Amino acid sequence: MARAGAINAAQLRNSKVSILPILRPVQPSSPRWELLSSQSNLAHRMGIKRDYKEPERRTRTPLTRPFLLRILNCLPLTDYDDVVLKAAFTLAFAGFLRVGEFTYKQGDKELEPTFRNWFLTKGCIKTRASGRYMEVTLPASKTDPFRKGINLTIAATYDNACPVSAMKQYLARDTHRALHEPLFCIGRYEQ
């Protein structure tokens, strides 16, 4: 007789659920823990996942320079949004930026007076006339626990993935917003 709330194996086979409820009763002090945690029983665990239709995890490939160039070649750069995306992609790639370091949520803009203390704004970018590099000031970062700001020097690469030329092109088209506004915004007329 099944206990109340017990997992029905037939239901699990026909649905995509996590295997965690099955393994949760197994505690480290249990003899079954040894069985399920040993390397020799990897096939056994994979069999459980297969039987209970554990969803396959996506394999993630690293974003390498050839992938970046393929993405950039798909951007026609005819409208404002394409120029924004190219500048964002190349800056993030060249500066090894985390997603949270160059993006923001719509609700974050409500922090209006302190927004510039936490997020990249147009004033955080200093392009040099020589075009050899630009300076980026990250006001806050996961790697800056005291929030003093981090200065990055981004070098020009003089090819299609050049972050300096992409940023210059973007800033030349983005003349309608002030320096305290967020650095990247999609939809020129929606801001």
Please state which of the ranges 20-24, 157-161, 177-181 shows the lowest mean pLDDT: 20-24
Q: First-to-last CA distance in the chain?
A: 62
pLDDT of 65 over the 90 cut? yes
For residues 132 and 141, is the Cβ–Cβ distance under 8 A?
Answer: no
Question: What is the rounded CA–CA span in Å between residue 138 and residue 116?
Answer: 10
Q: What is the pLDDT of residue 37?
A: 55
The structure tokens listed for 151 are 């200065």
Q: CB-based burial of residue 42 (10 Å sphere; 0-12 exposed, 13-18 middle, 19+ buried)?
A: exposed
Domain boundaries 65-190, corresponding CATH code: 1.10.443.10
0.75 surpassed by pTM: no
What ranges do the domains of the chain cover?
9-51, 65-190
Q: What is the pLDDT of residue 12?
A: 46
Based on its alpha-carbon atoms, the radius of gyration of the chain, rounded to whole angstroms, reads 25
